Amino acid sequence: MKRARRARIVATLGPASRAPGMVKSLAQAGVDVFRLNFSHGSHEDHAAALKAVRGAEMALKRPLGVLADLQGPKLRLGRFQDVEIEVKPGHTMRFDLDPTPGDETRVQMPHPEIFRALRTGMLLLLDDGRVRLRVGERTDEWADVTVESGTKLSDRKGVAVPEAVIPVSALTPKDREDLAFALRIGVDWVALSFVQKAEDMAELKRLVDGRAACLAKIEKPQALHQLESILDYCDGVMVARGDLGVELDPEEVPVAQKQILRAARQRGVPAIVATQMLESMTSAPAPTRAEASDVANAAYEGADALMLSAETASGDYPLETVSVMNRIIERVERDPLWPGLMDAEHAGMDEHDVDALVAAARKAGEAQSTACIVVFTTLGGTARRMARERPLQPVLALTPNPSTARRLALVWGLESRLGREPSSLEEVTEDAVQAAMDNELAQPGQRVLILAGTPFGAPGAANLLRLAHAPAKKAKR
């Protein structure tokens, strides 16, 4: 089963979608990577969901990725005596460490690290930005605040401090337990929430130790200031527009999205655009026009993948939502203007011969007689480099490693498949042509462009570019 589009689809599994039959249907409808959201559900739920994905993978004979999304630190207010209080502009109150239920004059904020980071005049955002406050007098144990906008506050609402780096680890004790479990059941990707600095990702990479690919969720303004250093430790990145949109002004979010996508493209790091893409389809069978345009714009921008959250996890129309997203992306990629946008920007070549070879492969692939490009890859590096060039021909990534094939399911334009480790040039040519034909990417007599590395059987960068032709009659093994 191959895709008729390059941009990939990530769908979150939940109560509405984790049954094995639904998982298979979602994969058939277009899902390439399934997200397990560790903010919700039990370990047993996630283990069952992963088992369903592996079953769908076997049935469809197509690698499917599984992404474990860790919850990250949640900064929240304490509780109120009456559950909810009214606030209005000009209202003043105190936040402190006292666990006594609060009222209109004070309430607990059980995070001493926030008080240490606060400065007079700083902005505080509560309840996803619905309540905005300004910090007045403060100490390391309390802060007086004045309401700038808002109407009410209730128990356990989230706290955001967009103007400060909060000295908390991005990995909470819960995250560490969830991470150990996710690695034990064999997820392919791990996403870290609320990344603020490169050290957050470095810690995750150390704990994962190569057992999965590591992805940074960019949802804090502070992460944008350290984006390049964060990407040094990333195998992937997510534009998490929900929380990013809380702490940034609305007009800044599209700019940040383009900044992240461009930086990731330059690195050859797959990038996901997430949050509220087709949110109305959580309860409606069709999207709004604005949502359709949002999905289309992400595809026009060359995002590797687009993500669905509540739409598939708990919505009423998970299958319809995936089908709609699939159709929108396919339509964008049929637009005569789309190829020019993909070709408008190419990454600068590093000091590696493989970059020159990949650029040459992209150029050679532009010939109309070339049906597809076949890349032999062990760990996925050469395939990601090829995808970074955004070739318009289909790219088949052959690897002997199931984990590599599943990780590459997230990458733009790659049809990843399992294949043997070739031991000679003859086997490379034979396997490439046969796989291209088996996957209906090349017809008899068409040209296949092959990218591989020597010595055969040893991991390393590609150093071989070869042309071959599919035989007039389909070969038989």
Q: Mind telling me the catalytic residues?
A: 35, 76, 217, 275
Dihedral (CA of 451, 452, 453, 458) sign: positive
Alpha carbons 21 and 34: distance in angstroms, whole number: 14
| 298 φ/ψ angles, rounded to the nearest 5 degrees | -65, -40
Contact 332, 324 (CB under 8 A): no
Q: What is the DSSP string of 144-178?
A: EEEEEE-SEEETT-BEE-TTS-----SS-HHHHHH
Long-range contact list for 320-324, CB < 8 A, 24+ apart? 320/281, 320/285, 321/278, 321/281, 322/9, 322/11, 322/26, 322/29, 322/30, 322/31, 323/29, 323/30, 324/278, 324/281, 324/286, 324/287, 324/292
Per DSSP, 26 falls in state H
Q: Which two tokens stand for residue 79?
A: 């509780």
Dihedral (CA of 73, 74, 75, 78) sign: negative
Task: Give the C-alpha distances (Å, rounded to integers) separating 16 from 65, 146, 288.
Answer: 19, 42, 21
The dihedral region occupied by 121, where left means phi > 0, alpha psi between -120 and 50, and beta the remainder, is: left
Alpha carbons 126 and 146: distance in angstroms, whole number: 12
Per DSSP, 336 falls in state T
Burial class (CB in 10 A: 0-12, 13-18, 19+), 305: buried
Q: Which two tokens stand for residue 155?
A: 């128990």
Contact 78, 202 (CB under 8 A): no
Contact 410, 65 (CB under 8 A): yes
Task: State how beta strands 142-149 and 92-96 pair.
Answer: antiparallel
Alpha carbons 405 and 419: distance in angstroms, whole number: 10
Alpha carbons 292 and 41: distance in angstroms, whole number: 29
